Amino acid sequence: MADLFAKIENMGPIGQYNKQVHGYFTFPKLEGEISNRMIFQGKERVIWSLNNYLGLANHPEVRAADADAAAQFGMAYPMGARMMSGNSNYHEQLENELAAFVGKEAAYLMNFGYQGMASIVDCLLSRRDVVVYDAESHACIIDGLRMTNAHRFVFKHNDVEDCEKQLQRATEMVAKSGGGILLITEGVFGMAGDMGKIKEICALKAKYDFRILLDDAHGFGTMGETGAGVGEEQGCQDQIDVYFSTFAKSMAGIGAFVAGNADLVNYLQYNLRSQIFAKALPMPMVIGAIKRLELLRTKPELKDKLWQNVHALQSALKEAGFNIGKTDTCVTPVYLQGGVIEATNLTVDLRENYNIFCSIVTYPVIPKGHIILRLIPTAMHTQQDIDETIVAFKAVKHKLDEGLYPKEIPPVMEAVG
């Protein structure tokens, strides 16, 4: 018999390097006001890794709304789960405003996107149902699937032909089981930045009987004429049966919501385990979200500025010869070739010598030999941030291509003191 804790010696694919990377690559502390430039390891850097798309995190009206709500209600109110003792007029007001904004009859708040999505998936599926989902679905969708015993068919990422094939298989299966079909995909895929082919998938409803659940975490606030997301962008919002977004990105808050027709939302209110068995969102988060939604709706200049920066950054990267893949959204990946050790040295070089802080993705998350630098432009960024970043990226790519980086993991902690 083994000690249950024997397994913790194996820290996992990233955790095994924790001694070298903790505090620098993992668990870094970004200090100062949330903005385009923040303090990392005591020095100001251009920050490209926050999903603060519209710059609402530190907007003075948002800060004032958050502070006023905290002063009036504290962080404890309301006590209890929504269903039992944790409801309020503010929670319902936010739900009504969100539903109207995304063009649905009703909406329901959730405390976290991750838990909320997992719970929705669990709640909508039973043993006889079949789920058809994109191969690159976010962990919250995959973890929701782990909770259900519905049959699963996965389709190749954003491949409508394969999606149809899986819908055919699902249709044959439910003909026997007597269940229904749920199709799950995303509005914007957060790693590569490609938009889900939602309109084409919706068109398959003419041939197959299924419901669509859309995770629009990166699309809400950034896509569509009014910012109502990828359904609006592609003109198929009315075809999306269950619309989901988190407040963790454009809304620069915490929490999430799900929207759909009134009967569906009513069902979720009484069956969504993540909310029935959890305390309601505290009042400052709710009142703060009402203010964020108001700004998102009434200040289109924020989204315009965001997209101005997205276009400026992406065209400058392309002009400088960088491969940014197939992004057609704000998420901006830069694909490079190199091993993990080179990637580590390159990142330290970017941060220490050029003051550029962005997220980096390497093996084992992506195949060996590939590096992705992931940039999230926001409405806060300036042309100067973009110019400095391009200069830095050109310099580090040159060093990478010429094999100039050391062949050992950099002594990060020593380097930064």
- CA 382, distance to chain mean position in Å, is 23
Task: Choose the stretch contacting ligand PLP; rule: CB under 6 A; options: 79-87, 109-117, 295-303, 385-393.
Answer: 109-117
Site for ligand PLP in 314-343 (CB under 6 A): none
* C-beta contacts of 164-171 below 8 A and 24+ residues apart: 164/204, 164/207, 164/208, 166/132, 167/132, 167/204, 167/207, 167/208, 167/210, 168/208, 170/130, 170/132, 170/208, 170/210, 171/208, 171/209
Judged by DSSP in three states, 207 sits in coil
217: contact with ligand PLP by CB under 6 A: yes
Residues 6+ apart with CB under 8 A from 131: 121, 125, 145, 148, 150, 151, 152, 153, 181, 182, 183, 184
| Interface characters, 132-151, with ligand PLP (x: CB under 6 A) | ------x-x-----------
Site string for ligand PLP, 239-278 (x = CB under 6 A): -------x-x-------x----------------------
Nearest CB to ligand PLP, comparing residues 248 and 409:
248
Distances (CA, A) of 35 to 130, 262, 295, 377, 380: 44, 38, 17, 11, 6
Q: Which is nearer to ligand PLP, 115 or 347 (CB)?
A: 115
Binder to ligand PLP among 114, 155, 210, 393 (CB under 6 A)? 114
Sole binder of ligand PLP in the list 86, 113, 231, 260 (CB under 6 A): 113
Burial environment of residue 75 by CB neighbours within 10 A (0 to 12, 13 to 18, 19 or more): exposed
Q: How far apart are CA 408 and CA 344, in angstroms?
A: 9
Residue 125 CB neighbours (<10 A): 25
The nearest distance, CB 229 to ligand PLP, in angstroms, is 12
Matching residue, tokens 């699963």: 152
Closer residue to ligand PLP (CB): 138 or 381 = 138
Complex with ligand PLP: residue 98 or 312, whichever CB lies closer: 98
Q: Judged by CB under 6 A, which stretch of 84-92, 113-121, 291-299, 303-311 contacts ligand PLP?
A: 113-121
Nearer to ligand PLP, 14 or 415 (CB): 14
The minimum distance between CB 119 and ligand PLP, in angstroms, equals 11
Residues lying near ligand PLP in the complex (CB under 6 A): 112-114, 117, 138, 140, 186, 190, 215, 217, 246, 248, 256
